[in-house]
Amino acid sequence: MNNPLLSIVIANYNYGRFLEEAIQSVLSQSCNDYELIIVDGGSTDNSVEIIKKYEDKIAWWVSEKDKGQSDAFNKGFAHANGKYLTWLNADDILVDGCLGKVVVELQKYPECEWFTGNFFRFLDNGQILEINWGPHYYPKFLQRRTSPIVVFGPSTFFAKSLWERAGRIDERFHLAMDTELWARFITMGITQRRINVFVWAFLFAELFFHFNRQYYFFNFSITLTSFFKMISSASSSIIASALQTFAM
């Protein structure tokens, strides 16, 4: 498809054991107004074999060494032809049937540049750990309707033109890079439109509990610092506009 409404970028590195399910979660959607892009970081497992299996359904793919997932997403987005962008990691999946519902909203509000939906986390045995709807998320200071940033990765769809104006994903971040990008959207005065649809299912691997907790909060603290630096220079009218983001 030359001019799809959506471009979906999957980033992968040696996650062949999950990659096929991620690909199938996209290709099985009833909506076909999208293109699929896969950016592999030079995997040494069976990832490339899996990608080639679906090559005729992939708009563009590459397997080469990169600087991490933020670099991979930027690389994929640069090749995207869709009006709106989103991403998946190789161990994520799109919820069955979600794209058709999302497309209805995108077409209903063509002037909007940023849409956000719902997501849930699950374990590799299929057990659902938590279900999240927008602002209803911990810690408590992020649960208020006017709290600035409670948006999560592939549960959001944003215009490619907005990604370009915002300066793309900051490749210094390997986690919480999405939060830092949303902070820039907000300080630009961009208002998100909530879509009450479950979009993203996030595999919360056991390893994540033990390895990533400390690293996540290190990145998150950097992101907060970046955010508060930005809002200190933003006009009061932009901040007021940003706070309306969650007043829906």
Higher pLDDT, 129 or 155: 155
- Spatial distance between the Cα atoms of 177 and 167, rounded to a whole number of angstroms: 13
Angle at 83 between CA 112 and CA 219, to 5 degrees: 80
Higher pLDDT, 120 or 57: 57
Higher pLDDT, 120 or 18: 18
Pairing of strands 114-122, 60-63: unpaired
Residue ranges of E strands in 41-160? 60-63, 84-89, 92-94, 114-122, 128-132, 156-159
Given 3-state DSSP classes, what are the helix, strand and coil percentages for the chain, each rounded to the nearest 5? Answer: 45, 25, 35
pLDDT number for residue 122: 79
- Spatial distance between the Cα atoms of 35 and 58, rounded to a whole number of angstroms: 7
Is the pTM higher than 0.85? The answer reads no
Is the pLDDT at 80 greater than 50? The verdict is yes
Confidence of residue 1 (pLDDT cuts 50, 70, 90): low
Is the pLDDT at 154 greater than 60? The verdict is yes
Provide the mean pLDDT of the chain: 82
DSSP state of 57: G
Is the pLDDT at 216 greater than 50? The verdict is no
pLDDT number for residue 236: 47
- Spatial distance between the Cα atoms of 223 and 169, rounded to a whole number of angstroms: 12
Is the pLDDT at 182 greater than 80? The verdict is yes
Name the amino acid, one letter, at 209. F
For the chain, the first-to-last Cα distance in angstroms comes to 34
CB 22: neighbour CB atoms within 10 A? 26
Between the ranges 34-48, 173-187, 215-229, where is the mean pLDDT highest? 34-48
Q: Supply the DSSP string of 197-229, one letter for each residue.
A: EEEEEEE--HHIIIIIHHHHHHHHHHHHHHHHH
Is the pLDDT at 229 greater than 60? The verdict is no
pLDDT number for residue 103: 96
